[in-house]
Amino acid sequence: MASQPTHTRASTAPGPRREARSFIDPQALMRIESLQLRAASVVEGFLHGLHRSPYHGFSVEFSEYREYLPGDDLRFLDWRVFARTDRFYIKRFEDETNLRCELLLDTSRSMGFGSGTFSKLDYARTLAATIAYFLSLQRDAVGLRTFDERIVETLPARYRPGHLNRLLLALERTPAGEGTDLSLPLEEVAATVTKRGMIVLISDLLAPLDKLEKSLGYLRSRGQEVILLRVLDPAEVEFSFDSPTMFHDVESGQQRYVDPRSVRDEYQTRFQEHADAIKRTCNILGIDLYDLTTDQPLELSLFDFIQSRQQRSRHVARRSNRPRRDA
């Protein structure tokens, strides 16, 4: 199984370079006790190599000058520069948005599995914290909802001092829940989140898919942008067990004797089928799906997140063909 994350849409846009060699090892990261510190480590390390947004608009933040080309909007001509240099320059500003982002974190028991020193839930928590921290830096509003079979904790999307701390605190005290049922929490979210924005769903999606399409469809129909970050353990992907042993399902409590050598192929086939089904559903609904394994640096997931945002922005830009300015 590929160790690189997969995403459903081919991206041709120039984005930040995804080279993992300078990133923080997740194992080392998880040893940091404070969730805020973890998130800060990831984001600041990430920002070091990040170019600013290449999309320019009419914003408070000046970006660069560019020579005037016929067809450019004359509003952006810098007359002072023209007066000094006798040349036409277009003044460019950073495209500034004000985003509402809802983080949906799956805390079901299956998220508690981890073949290494930390569980998927640990990873997912750090991921959520990282995204929240990153968005807070951009002054975007972030909310959090944790769920297993139902919504456990709700923190509405806000941008105000102290909100990030509350959110991190909520993440930290999130207990491992029971089984996974995506449909009920998603429907609840669809009903309560009325403002348009972005929904980031962090889950392992280890649940039957019959209702998933319908629930995700609700969200999309409300005009929400949905990004699905699927967190998996490498052992779940590769089924890398050796000796025959009694396997115990942490969600259902089921026990089964399994000889990994003999069932590995079939497991991987079934797993791939399930993954393909999710992929299909996301494609149909226009949802960005990223597969993340817990041995990948968190910065990469942040890349995925930002990449997904860029694609959205480009999509929107292409549609409006002008820089958007939401005040």
Query: Considering the complex, what minimum distance in angstroms separates the CB of residue 231 from another protein?
Result: 11
Find the part of the chain contacting another protein (CB under 8 A) among 44-52, 260-268, 283-291, 299-307: 260-268
Q: Does residue 258 interact with another protein by CB under 8 A?
A: yes
Q: Does residue 175 interact with another protein by CB under 8 A?
A: no
Helix axes 35-48, 298-320, angle to 10 degrees: 60
State which residue, 233 or 288, has the beta carbon closest to another protein.
233
312 CB-near residues (< 8 Å, 6+ apart): 225
Using the structure block, give the residue that is written with the tokens 């509402």: 100
Coil/strand/helix, residue 268 = helix
Query: Considering the complex, what minimum distance in angstroms separates the CB of residue 275 from another protein?
Result: 10
Q: Does residue 243 interact with another protein by CB under 8 A?
A: yes
What x-and-dash track marks residues 57-96 binding another protein by CB under 8 A?
----------------------------------------
Q: Does residue 53 interact with another protein by CB under 8 A?
A: no
**305 in Cβ contact with 131 (< 8 Å):** yes
208 CB-near residues (< 8 Å, 6+ apart): none
State which residue, 208 or 223, has the beta carbon closest to another protein.
208
CA angle 30, 36, 38 (to 5 degrees): 30
**217 in Cβ contact with 190 (< 8 Å):** no
Report strand pairing: 141-147 vs 151-158. antiparallel
Q: Does residue 259 interact with another protein by CB under 8 A?
A: yes
Q: Does residue 1 interact with another protein by CB under 8 A?
A: no
Residues that bind another protein (CB under 8 A): 109-113, 120, 204, 206, 208, 233, 236, 239, 241-252, 254-267, 270-271, 274
